[in-house]
Amino acid sequence: MTLDIVPIRVLVVDDHAALRDGIAAIVSNEPDITIAGEAANGEEAIAAYRTLRPDIMLLDLQMPVLGGLEVIKALREEFAGARIVVLTTYEGDVQALRALKAGASGYLLKTSLRKELLEAIRVVHKGRRYVLAEVAQEIAVHAAEDPLTMREVEVLGMVADGNANKVIARRLSLSEDTVKAHLRAIYSKLDVNDRTQAVTVALRRGIIAL
């Protein structure tokens, strides 16, 4: 006598319908996984989770209305056992760490969904974490480094927007010398030599986003 399989119920949250449809297609032939519902923004995600109580939420970090990190924090406060797998186009270690510290159980790149999605769902459903190998490697490489302070991230974000030191100083109520000191600290921590390199590395690692 065989026992009926109780499928893992998955809530898919992404603002692009094509990606939601793609995930549904990937799991359509899996007897142990089923799509419980969909949501297209952060607020819908929280409401859908409350209504559906899925086993797993697949969540894009770059969401309209309410961002993915805010969704993770809110759900984990309300539902301590919520299991959330992040879907993103960014492989940066800093963004991954933010998501995992907020309470995510998994971290996947959208480019790897066909190969990794099903395994990630099953692993996280069993109560374990699943982080894509290349992302885990990035986290390990930078683990011993001093992170940028909130002020340094703020300054770097304004540099990325094309602001000169004088403008940054005025907007943050700082002296230009203080802004330059922050930039020197940023260059040292990121192991770069100039503003362009700093912005490039920060974007790649998920320290800032445009």
pLDDT in tens, 163-187: 999 999 999 999 999 999 999 999 9
* The Cα angle at residue 200 between residues 110 and 15, in degrees rounded to 5: 30
Assess whether 20 and 115 both reside in one domain: yes
CATH number at 172 reads 1.10.10.10
User: Which residue among 91, 114, 141 closes a domain?
Assistant: 141
Tokens standing for residue 190 = 């990121």
Assess whether 36 and 110 both reside in one domain: yes
On the question of pLDDT at 153 being above 90, the answer is yes
User: Which residue among 141, 159, 188 closes a domain?
Assistant: 141
Q: Do residues 58 and 10 make contact, with C-beta atoms less than 8 angstroms apart?
A: yes
pLDDT of amino acid 1: 38
Assess whether 155 and 136 both reside in one domain: no
pTM: 0.78
Q: Is residue 2 part of a domain?
A: no
Assess whether 89 and 182 both reside in one domain: no
Assess whether 115 and 41 both reside in one domain: yes
**For 13-34, what is each residue's pLDDT tens digit?**
999 999 999 999 999 989 999 9
Q: Do residues 92 and 204 make contact, with C-beta atoms less than 8 angstroms apart?
A: yes
Assess whether 101 and 129 both reside in one domain: yes
Looking at the 3D structure of the chain, how many domains does it have? Answer: 2
Assess whether 84 and 37 both reside in one domain: yes
Domain that holds residue 158: 150-205
